[in-house]
Amino acid sequence: MTNVAVVGAGLIGRAWAIVFARAGFSVTLWDQFSQQTTQALTFIADRLPELRAAGLLADEPDTVIARIKPMASLWEAVRDAAYVQECGPERTEVKTGVFTELERNAKPDAVLASSSSGIPASAFTAHLQTRNRCLIAHPVNPPYLVPLVEICPAPWTDAAVTESTRAIMVQAGQVPATVKKEVDGFALNRLQGALLAEAFRLVADDVISPGDLDALVKHGLGLRWSFMGPLETIDLNAPDGLADYCNRYGPLYATMQEQMKPLEWDARLVGRLHDARRAELPANMQKVRQEWRDRRLMALLAHKATQPD
């Protein structure tokens, strides 16, 4: 059984613990605040029966949670781990300090991966003696329901480390996608950023209402994108495939690109969008809606598991 350490027991860390324990890994969990670890174990205990009921947990919940061991110190958490998943705050100085401690405490051959959403590994591992074993393994929240993981090496990461991380993710039931070189936001958030940029622009220009804009993705693009990527989508949307689609619609997209000028997300625009969301979903209902989202993701993931890719 592969030993995995999860460092940081917040929302992402506790979700990673579920991912690895569900797949049969032995998991150690540590957070500098012991209360955070306690809360994480309560969260995990509450989620596992739901996953079992949805058909997303092969073993009994008690068996899975028994694979997760809370640790009192960072050293105890990482000393026997072959793979470490760091899940600390999204601040460069914090990650620099954590990785300094990980290098000092982890086994010399352990892979050190960060859940960073946008900070590249080179920003906080350059000073390490064993920086060649460090990289990004960026999940989509929550990773136990959304399996995609971006793997992004630093310029000095050994190729073997990148490949072994991909193998671990496959073993854990995740879907790895390698980002070959460091770019701001990696790849997933750049795609999301492009869509958000145009969404904000369309609302700012009063082309469409916030509610109808969400409907475009929820009831349109999102249905296809739940089982196909954008390249496969256009490949299937023209009689002779992708090149045919580009020949037909390339000029239209070129015109649209010219019109897609940068737009600042100023306080007025953000406030307008925020108010629209609160009118649709009162603040006191946000947690309820998050739980609804997770149940819908469970149902979708369970359905996709029964279908050929």
Residues 88-116: tens digit of each pLDDT: 999 999 999 999 999 999 999 999 999 99
The predicted pLDDT at position 309 comes to 79
Is-above-0.85 flag for pTM? yes
CATH architecture of 3-178: 3-Layer(aba) Sandwich (3.40)
Query: Which option is the CATH number for 189-305: 3.40.50.9100, 1.10.3720.10, 1.10.1040.10, 3.40.50.300?
Result: 1.10.1040.10
pLDDT > 70 in the chain, percent: 100
The predicted pLDDT at position 129 comes to 97
* Residue 227: pLDDT over 80: yes
Phi/psi for 204 (5° steps) reads -60, -35
Rounded average pLDDT over 260-287: 95
Phi/psi for 26 (5° steps) reads -90, 120
* Residues 92, 125: Cα–Cα separation, whole Å: 10
* Residues 30, 32: Cα–Cα separation, whole Å: 7
- Using an 8 Å Cβ cutoff, are 260 and 204 in contact? no
Rounded average pLDDT over 25-32: 97
Q: Where are the domains of the chain?
A: 3-178, 189-305
* Residue 1: pLDDT over 80: no
Residues 175-213: tens digit of each pLDDT: 999 999 999 999 999 999 999 999 999 999 999 999 999
The predicted pLDDT at position 249 comes to 97
CB neighbour class for 283 (10 Å; exposed up to 12, middle 13-18, buried from 19): exposed
